[in-house]
Amino acid sequence: MCGIVGYIGKRNATPIIVEGLKRLEYRGYDSAGLAINKDGKLHIYKAVGKITDLERSLPEPNVTFSNIGIGHTRWATHGKPNKTNAHPHTGQYGKIALVHNGIIENYKQLRQKLTTEGHQFNTETDTEVLAHLVEYFIEKEQDFTSGVQKALKLVEGTFGIAVIHTDYPENIVAARKGSPLILGIGNEEFFITSDVAAIIIHTKKVIYLKDGEVVNLNHEKFEITTLDNEAVKAKISEVDWDVSSIEKGDYEHFMLKEIYEQVTSVENAFRGRLMNKLSTARLGGLNITGNELRKVKKIQIIGCGTSWHAALIGKNMIESLARIPVEVEYASEYRYRNPIIPEDTLVFVISQSGETADTLAALREAQARGAKVLGITNVVGSTIARESDGGVYIHAGAEIGVASTKAFTSQVTVLCLLALILGRMKHLSAQYGIKFLKEIKRIPQKIEKVLNLNEEIERIAATIKDSKNALYLGRGMHYPVALEGALKLKEISYIHAEGYPAAEMKHGPIALIDEKMPVVAIALKDAIYDKIISNLQEVKARNGHIIAIATEGDENIKDLAEHVIYIPETMDIFQPLLSVVPLQLLAYHVAHLRGFNVDQPRNLAKSVTVE
């Protein structure tokens, strides 16, 4: 959730940290703060709200000049979003400043123990307890790294932390467990961050710290150890995207930019993976042989939120093309319900960030039960990418908008390829494979055609922007698209919306329909087109306000819908890649017309790294 940035080197740390926090604000924007180590003293600055609020509260640059500092942007877990609870936090003696991502599950027990030692606390946050604990052990051990190690061995829960100390004015110590932390390597300077976006303008050389690793750094060198003080030889990676990926350019919002980037991101998801001669595809990172794939009798796909919706579409695709039964699981529920994983079951976990806490926990649970687990993720070097037995990168590029758009269509594209591969191994004909490969190459151009409807969709959005509720309907593969469309509207416009299988409407939700209820229906020409039309007739009979996503050339739909958004015709399997785009634009424009911050919706953050 939250964002961490730290710097040590020869430059002024304050502007580097502030700029880095601005690039991480999508990870949390309840409050922010920074601490610098200057003249043997800690100087701490905090503000409620955006990073610009923190920036405005800072003294003159000469006052905040320091070569070392840490900063944090917060998404509140323990304690309300106010200045007192904002990070950095200090310990009992005022010698350390600490920033923290994650949740300390045993903080109450630790707090009680420290209270018996005479410690006094000013907040109800778990992070303040952690700061006191770390400072206590540094004093006890009389060593910066050793004190952090000893303290963290008592901690239950998740953490990504960075610490500075008045007695060690040229060092930062950072550590992680279950919350991402990255070391950036510059020229006689180092960075610590929870997301590479914060430091990409300074360096592309990074080390992705692993769980249980601690790094001590100054401007000349770094040392990585485990919590047991065993030396670690880390691999330096090169980030494969640049700063333009995390800038808005000419777009007003990141979300709109990322919607438009789907022309490229979908193509990147299948680029180099099509095998025309064999009428199939390849996903080289799966780390599984053809024979092993042929033996798969069941598949489980695990995800959260938008990734779960992509998984539902994947279920339809795989069962249709490969005739392999697929279960889709909520990651947040998976390990708490004693899941059954039969032999010859292949498990996929889907996460844009590769750091989603619930999905990572599900991955580990499935592996502990002997399953082979493959990851579908966007972020190279992420924890899921490292810990899964193999997997696929979706190559969507940096996604900054909290409401996911291009990652969703890239995930669906990869699942399309997986369905083809499995289908061709089973019974799917070469002719179908040829048709599939030809059509998938046309999808980016067809997405671009849908994007050309942006102004029309904005006008439609104006007709529903004051609605209190909305209903999204779809059947088959379009039901998950309806769920995704409703989620987007909820996330950024704060209008209550629900997605339903269209036929289920008459089993309850139809009671809600009146002239004030917008009903967004995905009514494309497919095998069950006539069924969805029947459902829409039921809506119209009750004066529902219908907005239909329809196939180009379908004139009949106009008799039912007040507004029709036409998308290009394509094979059934690719329809979700087109039908979701107008729903993304509709949600965007409704939220924008309502005057809300599209990129930073309330109470949400981009990467959910806590349970």
Domains of the chain: 3-243 (3.60.20.10), 248-441 (3.40.50.10490), 452-611 (3.40.50.10490)
CA distance 141 to 537: 74
Residue 99 confidence (pLDDT): 95
Mean of per-residue pLDDT scores for the chain: 91
Q: Between residues 79 and 530, which one has the greater pLDDT?
A: 530
User: 397 pLDDT band (50/70/90 cuts)?
Assistant: confident
Indicate the burial class of 269 (C-beta count within 10 angstroms; 0-12, 13-18, 19 or more).
buried
Whether the per-residue pLDDT at 24 is higher than 70: the answer is yes
Q: Assign residue 106 a region: left if phi > 0, alpha if psi is -120 to 50, beta otherwise? A: alpha
> The tokens of 426 are what?
């089973």
pTM for this prediction: 0.81
Q: Point out the residues that are catalytic.
A: 2, 606
Per residue in 158-169, pLDDT (tens digit) is 899 999 999 999
Please report, rounded to a whole number, the percentage of residues in the chain having pLDDT higher than 90.
69
Quick one: pLDDT at residue 77?
Answer: 67
pLDDT tens digits, 444-503 = 999 999 999 999 999 999 999 999 999 999 989 999 999 999 999 999 999 999 999 877
**Residue 28: predicted pLDDT:** 60
Q: Where are the alpha helices (DSSP H) in 120-251?
A: 126-141, 144-152
Q: What is the pLDDT of residue 416?
A: 98
Q: Over 60: is that where the pLDDT of 407 sits? A: yes
Question: Could you tell me the pLDDT band of residue 608, with boundaries at 50, 70 and 90?
Answer: low
Give the total residue count for the chain.
611
> Does pLDDT of 345 surpass 90?
yes
Mean pLDDT computed over 567-580: 97
> Model confidence over 167-190: pLDDT tens digits?
999 999 999 998 889 999 999 999
- pLDDT for 74-109, tens place per residue? 766 666 767 778 889 999 999 999 999 888 999 999
Q: Residue 379 and residue 356: Cα distance in Å, rounded? A: 11
Mean predicted confidence (pLDDT) in 225-231: 95
CA end-to-end span of the chain: 10
List pLDDT tens digits, range 123-161.
888 999 999 999 999 999 999 999 999 999 999 988 999
Please state whether beta strands 372-377 and 345-351 pair in parallel, antiparallel, or not at all (unpaired): parallel
Q: pLDDT for 443-452, tens place per residue?
A: 999 999 999 9
Q: Which of 90, 133, 89, 84 is nearest to 112 (CA)?
A: 133
Rounded to whole angstroms, the Cα distance separating 135 from 553 reads: 69
pLDDT at 586: 98
